[in-house]
Each structure stands twice: as structure tokens, then as C-alpha cells.
Structure 1
Amino acid sequence: MSASSAAGDTALANIRLQIMWNRLLSVVEEQAQTLIRTAFSTSVREAGDLSAGVFDAKGRMLAQAVTGTPGHVNAMAASVGHFLARFPLESMVEGDVFVTNDPWLGTGHLHDFTVVTPTFLDGRPVALFAATSHVVDVGGIGFGPDGRQVYEEGIYLPIMHLAQAGRMNESLLAIVRSNVREPIQVEGDLYSLAACNETGCRRLIAMMREFGLTDLDHVAEHIITQSREAMLAAIRALPAGVYENSMRVDGYERPVDLVCRLSVGDDGITIDFAGTSPVSGYGINVPLTYTDAYASFGVRCIVGGDIPNNWGSLDPIRVDAPAGSILNAPHPCGVAARHVIGQMLPDVVLGCLEQAIPGGTPAEGSSSLWNPTLMGGHGVVDADYGAATPFAMTIFHTGGTGARVGKDGLSATAFPSGVRNTPVEINETISPLVFWRKEYRTDSGGAGRHRGGTGQVMEISHRENAPFSVGAMFDRCAHPARGRQGGGPGGNGAVRTQNGLTLRPKGRQTVPAGDCLVLETPGGGGLGDAKARPVAMVAEDVRNGIVTPQAARDAYGVVVDVHGTVDEAATKALRG
């Protein structure tokens, strides 16, 4: 065979491998869409709080759906190995489905169920599909940070069969139904997780038959090797060295310091959180799997962002935190609200990368979700609930992101989680609540050449004039997002009622009957000197109600009326 012929054969083989890789990405996206379309909980169906992926026979993630959160996807990338340790692949049979919500083996808290399904081709296991979703309720004291141990936070399932040889584990389902406030929704979500994996299995087998594959070994090695080498090349393009950053956030009973040391070398990136605060006595602690997920995502936002997320591209990023710190909380610490701290980690990591790539990272944002659990019923409010309609619902909302490189921050946008805000219309349909107001929060975006994204204001009351409880899991109320390169901080968050009652940012509290809950989410930090922001952009912000005329004058040096008309002479005098 001539050299040119051999080269041609190699090129065709590589094209074939790339086509199969792309096909796998399509398969897992369909898997995720099946989960969304069949889910019962609004957190999955409307907000997209989920993940889906395909794994080789060794438990290495080959492809993930674009739909999904980093906390689910990156944590799930490691959790499949725990399933295989408990149930080796050779012990599985067709029709088996496995499940757990173990925070330390899954995605960090009991509200996330991970389901794993083996795929069989001609009677042989060739791959596994995994999916995770956040369910509306797992019993216990309810979704929130008040639990002192994980035992208080809800039902805790070790890795076990959800279905065995095609038969659902009815005993397990009965136990789950008896321990949660929304049994239909939770059981429905378990079925939806099994259904989405089944979709993935069927599509994968169809692909393998189409390409004449008897296993995924060659495809898997190609995906992992190419991804790892591409990621290492991206890392080696950074200046080698050690970069440090720290950030203080609100915490629960005391502020929390997140301390990060990021080392860049030829063999990858090492992230060490030594010096971070110890565990909390409340449920804001973070299992290491979730810390790993969001810290590695912070790197991927800047380094190798065009490389597909899989075992190979994640492998060069190593994450560690001291045992007993809030980022490596041991069992049985309370962990229900682990996202409040864990979702701050990309900002901490980006602060390190800013030193390696000056001007190459966004400012800090509101970061962690504002997703309160709202409940009504006997025993969940500190008042008589009477005959009002009982309900339990978690709503997903957020503040503003930090200003981006060359752009303003995004308003009311979930970064780093990537979930969507749950629509008011849906929330009002499934609960006796009324959302009277939901709008951008004026002056909450940090001032800068590029403005931070704004938070939002929401006002919520009970339609039946009854009290209701709010499980608050909010941060950035005492320690706002910081700007970069001279940009200003974002606005602090706040929680109160319309009648003047100030609520704590964390913990379950009661909104009295006839009163209205007011949530003011934080804004993102600004980027660069505010006086360098074009006057026309400041005027447009004022015209759109994003910035007040007073803030335009004080922060930006622009004299403008409420209609956006600029006083050129006064502005020139202020700006020099």
C-alpha cells in the first residue's frame, strides 16, 4: 500500500470516528430531551436542573448533553464509577436500572437522584447511560439549609436497583411515596429518569448496528485521547505558575472564606482549597464531588471551552480540599443547600485565572441560585394554616452575572448553574401563590466600562390569604459580587416582606397571612472604569430603568434625566 493510500485510509478512519462521536452527542441530547419532556417536577421540566450522559464499560463519560448543569454533569462523571464498584458490569442483566441519591456518591445532596442503566448489544453489556435530576421533595425538614445532619434532610437511598431484569422495585417506590410530600411528582421523576436512559440505550444500539460496531472500545479511546490532548494543549498555552485568590461569602452562622491555589503545569491544572473555612453546623456544606464539579467548570469556562466535556477533557484538572473544610464535608454533615457555597467556586477559580490571563475573565456575579422552597400546610408554618391548600414548591431564580470581557453582564441569568428561571405562570398553576411583581432591579448591576448584570425583584403572596413558609438559601446579601479592573461591586441581595418584616437570608421562616414576600436578588460586578463607559450606553440604561439618574451621575459621571436626555455640558464637567 502506498503512503498516500495509507494516509487516505487514516483520514477516512478519523472522519468515521468523528461522525460516531457527533452521533453520541446527538444520542445524549435526545436522552436529556426525553427527561425534560417526561419529568413531573418543574425544576426539571421548566428550569432544566438535570444532566444526561453516556459512559463506556469502564465508567468513563464519553459524551454529555448540552442541556444540564455543571454540578450534575461533572459530579455524575465520577459517580458512575461508584455504581460499578457496587454492581460490577458483568453482574448486570438486561432490564436492570440502578439509583442513588447519596450526596457523597452522586451530586452533593439528597434532592438529586442519579439513575444508571446498562446498555446491552446481543446480550453483552457495552455501555451505560446515566441521568440526574432534582426532585421537588425528599421529605425530612424540606429543601433548605436548616438540617444539622443529612439524616434530617430526607430519604437517603444507597446505590440499589430501581428496576431488576425489567421489573420496577415496587418496595422502593412505596418507601419513597411514604416519605415525601409530593409522591406523584417524585415517583414520576424516577420513571422519567429511567425512561430517558432507555431512550439513550435504544439510540446507541441503533448507532452501533449502523456502523457495524460490537463494542465502543475504539471510539471511547479516540474520544478520551483526543479530548485529553486538546485540553493539555490549551493548558500549556497558559503561563505556568501558581495563582491564588480568596473570596468571602455570607455563610449561615458566620461568613465563609473560600481560599484557592491554582497551579498550572505541563501535566494539567491543580486546584487546592487549603485554607478554606471549616464545615458549617448547618446544611450549606459541600461534598468533594460537587466541589470538583464546579471548580473544574470554572477552568473550562476559560480554558478549552470548545473541547467537548468528557472524561478526557476533565482528567487534566485535579481538585482537592482539606477533609473537614466546608468544601470537603464528611458524612453525616448537612448538605441540602450545598449549591449556595459550591456555585461560588467558578468565581474563585476565575479570580486565579485572571492573574494568568489579565483582562481575560469576567467579574464576579451573584453566582449561587436564589431558589427558595415555598410551602404551606400543617406544621410547616409558624401559624394556623386553616383549610388553605397545602403545597410544596421550589422556584428557580437568580441575580445578575458579572460583566464579561468586552460586554455587559447578563441580567437575571443563572451562572454558573445554567438553569432557567421557572415561569411565573407555571408556579401560579401548581400552587396557591400569586406573583405580583417580577422585574429587573434598578441600580443592582455593578458600575464599570462594562456594567454588571442586574438582579430582579419579585413579590409573592398567598392567594387564599394564608401564611406560607420560605426556605431561604440566599447569599451575596452581606458580601456582594466584586468588580474587576476598577469596576464597582454588584448590589447586595435582600429578603423582606412588604409590611416591613426583615427576613434572614438563610433558614425557614414564615410570611404572615396577608403579607407579601419580597425577594431582591443581587447584581453582578462591573468591569473597568465606570467613567469610561460611553455616555450613550449610560443614557440607554437610564431610559430602560436599569440605572437611575442619580446613579448615572454618581457612578458614571453622566448627567441625564429619566427620559435618557443627556446634559452634555454638565457631563463633560463631571468627567473632566
Structure 2
Amino acid sequence: MTDAPSEALASIQRQIQWNRLIAVVEEQAQIMIRTAFSTTVREAGDLSAGIFDLRGRMLAQAVTGTPGHVNSMMESVGHFLAKFPAEGMKAGDHYITNDPWLGTGHLHDLTVVTPAFRNGKIVGLFANTAHVIDVGGLGMGPEGRSVFEEGLYIPIVKCFDQGRANETFFDILRAGTRTPAELEGDVYSLCACNDAGARRLVEMMDEFGMESLDDLAESIFDASSRATLAAIAELPRGEYAAEIRSDGYEAPVTLRARMTIAGDHIAVDYAGTSGLSGRGINVPAAYTRAYACFGIKCVVAPEVPNNWASLLPFRMEIPEGCILNAPRPFPVAVRHVVGQLLPDLMMGCLHQAVPDRVTAEGSSCLWNPPLRGGGQVSGAEAELPDFEVITFNSGGTGARPGRDGLDGTAFPSGVRTMPVEATENVAPVIFWKKELRPGSGGAGRTRGGLGQVMEIGAKGDAEFAVNAIFDRVGNPPRGRDGGGDGAPGWVGLTDGTLLRTKGFQVIPRGKRLRLLLPGGGGMGNPAQRDPALVERDIADGLV
């Protein structure tokens, strides 16, 4: 006979342990933010952090972070274990890669895996990913014709061996980047935050007298699996198809999905999606799975913790030769431009099944212009020191069924908008304008979120360059249920000169870059909008 009070007490204790685990990985992420050299991590939170069991299954992720990083990092730990099995790891070891197909999709993301030991026995693995400013090559842009042109390629190697730095690795790292101090500092930051997570985990295990994480892991996985399957079972079964278009590089790109909702899983087939590009907008399959699963989970089971078990019922069939399944060595530097459209594509399918639970399309893809200047742009005539910087900005999100979309907010990436002061502090650039873009949100019963207007120049109006990686210009976010489309983006100079939406371009001396970020689509008939909300928008200058 089951001892009910004992079982209830054990259940409470497991919940406390789960909450502690979340606190451990969130502290892991916050330490990375506080120690990172890259403004993309420190200011925007473009990172992920998580804890894994010895089979490479993700138990918990930090609250801070992006789904593209964390969901693809969930797969990458298995690749680390395939090369360096857990039983051979030692305390103080740190393993690193930026391989797009073994990590999180492009060379600018570093992934570090670190074992945690208690009483001389390995008990778990910590992993993190962070976007760094520069890894050499052509830089953060779409113009590479293979991954080998896109930057320094790091296989899965030890960067620290039992606490000792691998100096050969760090020599190669520093030599292969335009920002050696920042890149080396970021590697130390990634390793430090994993070490902190390992210490906190051991403290937790000591406190609860835990010899391993196995029982807690099975409890987490069981609860997450049951909750996700219950949520899927409530959906109308059937097949639902949708498509979405990207501006692409050589030509527009079409993403197609056919979603099958069954009793115990959701399957997505991408047959009919455009083929591979000759430029760096291709998407590795792990990144496709990462953002597609996130888009489904936002609608189907948003309250269920994100871990190995809760993502298991979401299955992807990605045809070979399509842009969402790029093989090595295709260029993938700006895979987010296409990949971040996937949640909107998933919602296009789910809108037919549960229309009251999805949003209209949003700006989706980050507008994060990499800026470069100095001798590498202007040669001997350079008026500025060499610099390389990237700044994260967002258009509007799509309208929600009962509320307006969010203005200037990153979805699905979830990164924070970087303060202009932080960017101006580390590079000789000036943001002359950064404000909401009136009228850019699509009309509807609930309107889309507003985009932004940005004007950027170099100090002294010197020459500089932008590596454009923008989308939603030729294909603006679409409204749903009669709502209007969001305003398309625009890329040019303040004098009206039009620039290409993708690719390296020089901004001449005395000129400034002007960006109009897209707004989100509207939801529902605009005639049904509350008149009080219309009056408020007019009074606030939003329409």
C-alpha cells in the first residue's frame, strides 16, 4: 500500500528541486551576461544556457536566452558526447565548437559543454551558446559561397583540459578574428558560467543528499511528456497547410509546410519549400527544428517546461536539397533571416485548427545590421580606426486575438533591443534617430505592433559599411482574419538612395544609413476595432 503522506512529500521535494534547477541555469546565464565581452550577449541576451543528463538530454534551460540557440543546442550536446564520451571527461574540462551542423547553425555561435562532478563522479553536463561579434572571414553577412568563406571553423575540441587553457587553441582563435580580445574573453566567459552552474548543482545535490540526477530527470521528463501529449490530444486532428515568403537573396524564397496533428504527436513536412541558395541564407536542419518546434509549442503547450521530453512529440520531415536542410559546406551565416520565419509558418497551419490561439504574422527576422569601418573599408584614406560591431533591433510583432501586437519587440528570437549608447560606446558610430514608425502596424480589430525608424552614421560623417541582412521588405507580414498587412521594411540612405536588402555595401562619406523596420500584421476586421483604441493611437501619434 502506498504511503500517501510520503508520496506527497516526495512530490513537493521534487518540485523544490525543479525550481532550484531553474535557478541554477538562470544564474549560469546571468553570469555569462555579466562577464561577456560581446555586446550581443551583454546587452541583447543572445545566448542560451542549460543542464543535461549524461545521455545528452536537456533537463532545463535558463529563462534568459533564445529558442534558436537553446533548441538547437539541445541536439548539439549529443554530438559532443559522440566525440568525447562522458566517462572520459575530467573535472575542469571544457569543450567547444562553432560547427553550424554540430552547434546552433552558424559560425558566429560558440557552444561550450562542461562536465559537473560531485565527489569525483560525473553527475551532469552544462552547456551554453553565445553569439560573438566576429570570427573572421567575410564577417556576419550573406555573401559567402561556402561556409569556409564565412569565418574560423572550430571542430569539437577541448579549450580547457582539467582547468588548463589549451594555448594552441587560443593562439588560433586570436589569429582568426578582427576582435581577438573580445573573442578570447567570450570563451572564458562561457566556461566560467558553466563552472558556476556546476558549483551550484553540487551544492543543491549536497543539500538534498542526491547521488545522481537520474530520478529527478525521469520525473521532469515524465511530467513534461504527459502534459505535452495532453495538450496535443485537445487539438482538432487533421492536416493543415500553409506557406510564407522571404525576400531571399538571388530570388524570393517560399517556405511550405503541411502539418499533421495526430493523437500523440505533431508532424510537419516541408515538401515544396524552395531549394538551396548559393548565398548564406541557408538553414541547417537543427535550426529549422529549433524554431519550428518553438512556434508549435508557443501555441500548443506554452506552459510546459522546454526540455527533451516536451519537444519529443514534434516531428520534422525536411527534404534534402531544400533551403531548410542545408548540407555541409553550404553558406549559412545568416540562417536566421529565413529560419526565424518558421514560427509564423507554424502558426499559419495552426490558425486553421485553433484560430483563437495564434497571432498575425510579425516582422519575425531581426534587423541587426553588422557595421564595419576603418582601413578594412576605406584603405589608406580611412578616417576611423578599424571597428566591427553589430546591433540588434526589431520590428513589430503580429496582432494577438485579444490584444495589439508589441512595438519594436523581437519575436521569435526573444533578444533584447540593444541600447544605442552601448553600441556608440564600443564603436565610432552615431545613432541619429531611433523611434517608432507611425502607421507601420497592420490595421485590424487588434492592430499589429509598430516597427522603427533608424538613422545611423559614423563619427565625423566618415565612410563606413553595412553588411545588410534584412528581410520582410518585398514580403511584409500578413494579417489574419481580415486584418491588414504590416508595413514593409525599407533600406537606404537618408537622401533617399535605395540599398540592397542583403550584402556588403559602403555608406559614402557624409551619408547616413536609414532603416525602416516592418510592422506586424493586424488581426480581424479593422471596422470592429474599439473606437477608444483608435482615439488613443491617434493621440499617441501611432497612426
Report the TM-score when normalising by structure 1.
Answer: 0.93
Distance in 2, Cα, partners of 1:391 & 1:460: 15
Distance in 2, Cα, partners of 1:379 & 1:15: 60
**2:473 paired residue number:** 477
| Structure 1 unmatched ranges of 5 or more | 548-576
Distance in 1, Cα, partners of 2:349 & 2:506: 40
Q: Which amino acid aligns with 1:310?
A: N
Map Cα deviations across residues 419-474 of structure 1 (whole Å, 9 max, x no partner): 01110111111111111111000111001010000100001111132111001100
Which moved further from structure 2: 148-157 or 261-270?
Answer: 261-270
Aligned partner (choices 412, 418, 429) of residue 414 of structure 2:
418
Distance in 1, Cα, partners of 2:214 & 2:140: 41
Instruction: Tell me the secondary structure at the aligned position of residue 403 of structure 1.
Output: coil
Aligned partner (choices 475, 478, 482) of residue 486 of structure 1:
482
| 1:500 positional shift | 2.5
**2:151 paired residue number:** 154
User: Aligned residues: percent identity?
Assistant: 57
| 1:64 positional shift | 0.2
Distance in 2, Cα, partners of 1:511 & 1:215: 57
1:107-118 map, 5 Å: 107-118=104-115
**1:466 paired residue number:** 462
**Aligned residue-pair number:** 543
Distance in 2, Cα, partners of 1:11 & 1:386: 70
Instruction: Tell me the secondary structure at the aligned position of residue 475 of structure 2.
Output: coil
**1:338 paired residue number:** 335
Instruction: Tell me the secondary structure at the aligned position of residue 215 of structure 2.
Output: helix
Aligned partner (choices 343, 364, 367) of residue 364 of structure 2:
367
Distance in 2, Cα, partners of 1:124 & 1:474: 48
Instruction: Tell me the secondary structure at the aligned position of residue 3 of structure 2.
Output: helix
1:488-527 map, 5 Å: 488-527=484-523
1:190 paired to 2:187: yes
**1:443 paired residue number:** 439
Distance in 2, Cα, partners of 1:28 & 1:267: 30
Map Cα deviations across residues 190-222 of structure 1 (whole Å, 9 max, x no partner): 000000000000000000011101111111111
Distance in 2, Cα, partners of 1:246 & 1:210: 51
Instruction: Tell me the secondary structure at the aligned position of residue 301 of structure 1.
Output: helix
Distance 1:320-1:198 versus aligned 2 partners, 3 A rule: same
| 1:543 positional shift | 1.6
1:284 paired to 2:281: yes
Instruction: Tell me the secondary structure at the aligned position of residue 131 of structure 1.
Output: strand
**1:544 paired residue number:** 540
Distance in 1, Cα, partners of 2:467 & 2:539: 36
| 1:165 positional shift | 1.1
| 1:249 positional shift | 1.4
Aligned partner (choices 357, 373, 385) of residue 354 of structure 2:
357
Q: Which amino acid aligns with 2:279?
A: Y
> Is the Cα contact below 8 Å between 2:375 and 2:385 reproduced in 1?
no
1:15 paired to 2:12: yes
> Is the Cα contact below 8 Å between 1:372 and 1:471 reproduced in 2?
yes
| 1:384 positional shift | 6.0
> Is the Cα contact below 8 Å between 2:376 and 2:386 reproduced in 1?
no
1:123 paired to 2:104: no
> Is the Cα contact below 8 Å between 1:444 and 1:522 reproduced in 2?
yes
Structure ID, larger Rg = 1
User: Which of structure 1's runs of 4+ aligned residues deviate more than 4 A?
Assistant: none
> Is the Cα contact below 8 Å between 1:385 and 1:466 reproduced in 2?
no
| 1:359 positional shift | 2.6
> Is the Cα contact below 8 Å between 1:457 and 1:520 reproduced in 2?
yes
| 1:377 positional shift | 2.1
Map Cα deviations across residues 128-148 of structure 1 (whole Å, 9 max, x no partner): 000000001000011011111
| 1:389 positional shift | 2.1
| 1:385 positional shift | 4.3
Map Cα deviations across residues 284-336 of structure 1 (whole Å, 9 max, x no partner): 00000000000000011111111111111111111221111100000001000
**1:42 paired residue number:** 39
Q: Which amino acid aligns with 1:484?
A: R
Instruction: Tell me the secondary structure at the aligned position of residue 435 of structure 2.
Output: strand
**1:6 paired residue number:** 3
| 1:388 positional shift | 1.6
Aligned partner (choices 71, 74, 78) of residue 77 of structure 1:
74
| Structure 2 unmatched ranges of 5 or more | none
**1:313 paired residue number:** 310
Distance in 2, Cα, partners of 1:385 & 1:206: 58
Instruction: Tell me the secondary structure at the aligned position of residue 461 of structure 1.
Output: strand
Q: Which amino acid aligns with 2:133?
A: V
Distance in 2, Cα, partners of 1:485 & 1:411: 21
| 1:101 positional shift | 0.2
**1:251 paired residue number:** 248
| 1:387 positional shift | 3.6
Distance in 2, Cα, partners of 1:333 & 1:379: 26
**1:565 paired residue number:** none
Distance in 2, Cα, partners of 1:421 & 1:96: 34
**1:30 paired residue number:** 27
1:105 paired to 2:96: no
1:452 paired to 2:448: yes
| 1:537 positional shift | 1.3
> Is the Cα contact below 8 Å between 2:245 and 2:254 reproduced in 1?
yes
Which moved further from structure 2: 385-394 or 36-45?
Answer: 385-394
**2:384 paired residue number:** 388
Give the RMSD, CA atoms, in angstroms: 1.0
**1:533 paired residue number:** 529
Q: Which amino acid aligns with 2:263?
A: D
**1:57 paired residue number:** 54
| 1:485 positional shift | 0.3
**1:555 paired residue number:** none
Which moved further from structure 2: 263-272 or 468-477?
Answer: 263-272
Instruction: Tell me the secondary structure at the aligned position of residue 256 of structure 2.
Output: strand
Distance in 2, Cα, partners of 1:434 & 1:95: 43
Report the TM-score when normalising by structure 2.
Answer: 0.99
Instruction: Tell me the secondary structure at the aligned position of residue 413 of structure 1.
Output: coil
Distance in 2, Cα, partners of 1:23 & 1:455: 38
Aligned partner (choices 131, 135, 139) of residue 134 of structure 1:
131
Q: Which amino acid aligns with 1:464?
A: G
1:401 paired to 2:397: yes
Distance in 1, Cα, partners of 2:375 & 2:190: 31
Instruction: Tell me the secondary structure at the aligned position of residue 355 of structure 1.
Output: coil
